[in-house]
Amino acid sequence: MKRIRKVMKTVMLLVPLAALIVSNAPGAKAQGIDDGDKVRSALERTDRIIGDAKKVIEESRSQKGRLALDVAAGVQTRAWGSFGGRGYRMALKLTMQAREEAWHAIALARLDRQSEESHIRVAEEARERLARLRDLMIESDVRDDQAMRLMEQAAMLLDKSRLNAQQLRYQLALKLAGDARELVIRAEERIRNTRTLKEATERRLALLDRLIERSRERAHERDQDRTRDQLAVAEAQIAKARELLNAGRYREARQALERCEITLRNSVRLIPVAPAGDPRDRLDETYRLLERAGEISSDSREPADPRTIAAIDQARAMLRRAEDALTAGRTAEGTGLITEARETLRSAVSAGVLGMTRERLMLRIEKVEALREETRNLAEKCPQPGIKELMERAQEHLRLARGHAENGNLESAVAETAVARNLYQRIGELCAR
């Protein structure tokens, strides 16, 4: 036991001595120098990365990038402090952390730079579209309160976007500019639809003006007092429609014109039947075909085919010449012009049908469905016999139209839609008596 204790004491004395010898060995000393050089090299590389990040941030003026760079610089300062105190492991850990913060600062700066460039592009586009839309409204004299509200909201968002960009909050500025552009696009769509409605209403107003004038002449020729009374009602209705049109209430004006058209048709029925083949009747019928062709050419969000517009204008000019010829007693010339105008209009209508898309056709079917709901209210209180059967026939044609449209048979769908529309209009005329 005493011998073991002596050996243990000897070992305890030799261990510190061995450690001292190892620590003073040439190899161990060289290893410590190498570690310090590697850490210094890492610190210097981080300094260069922070310098590059500073240049990028100065060019981008990124506030987020500048804050991240300040964090990186602070951590790097601590890293150099640890290095000075020979805390190499801590210095290496801190400098790597500073390096990560510097790279993060560069990424933030580049993102803000991209957002700034995108904001400039989107904001300029929104402002240009807004200016063009204002010019279009002034040029076409179109009024739409909802579109105006959308435009005002867009202008307000653009102002907020500009203020945020001035405060270097580019991502928020970009979002606001994008929202403003979407509002302008919605306003453009509303103005486009409202302009189409306004132009269609103006065309129908002009047509009914001419029809009233011709009906008045025919009523005077045949001495029809009841017809003249009906025409007076139609004139009052068309005056109301014109007042609504001038006030920018286009849908109400269109509805007033539809009521005027019903009154006008009822007044025409009071006139004794003209001789078979009367050119005046053919002229009236062709004017209605002219109106239908105009509706087909404008029933779209896309610009109408220039050839279709030219054909309609050509037919309109023919009808005016035919009207002048009939008034002057040149019946043969007037009849020939009417026939030529009808053929021209049929070609224009056919071209409109051929250019029909499924989307446009579904919009037309939806309009007839809206007409069905209006007609149904009249039919429920209508004393005329056979109204229920007419409603059922119209509904069947409308059902067939939707089925053909969904199956891609557009030509049949257009025909069925037209039959349903005519039936609903006929029901409205019968119930309005």
CA distance 101 to 107: 10
pLDDT digits (tens, 9 = 90+) for 410-428: 767 877 787 788 778 777 7
Token pair for residue 249?
């209430």
Which residues neighbour 292 within 8 Å (Cβ) at sequence distance 6 or greater? Answer: 349
Most confident of 181-185, 218-222, 235-239, 291-295: 181-185
pLDDT at position 375 is 79
Return the closest-CA partner of residue 261 out of 326, 201, 338, 323.
Answer: 201
Q: Is the pLDDT of residue 294 over 50?
A: yes
DSSP output for 218-244: HHHHTT-HHHHHHHHHHHHHHHHHHHH
Confidence of residue 51 (pLDDT cuts 50, 70, 90): confident
- Which is higher by pLDDT, 378 or 83? 83
Chain-centroid distance, C-alpha 341: 37
Q: What is the mean pLDDT of residues 223-249?
A: 79
Q: What are the tens digits of pLDDT across the range 369-406?
A: 888 877 777 777 777 777 888 888 888 888 888 888 87
Nearest in space to 251 (alpha carbons), one of 145, 357, 152 = 145
Pairwise CA distance, residues 428 & 433, whole Å: 9
Confidence band (pLDDT; 50, 70, 90) for 359?
A: confident
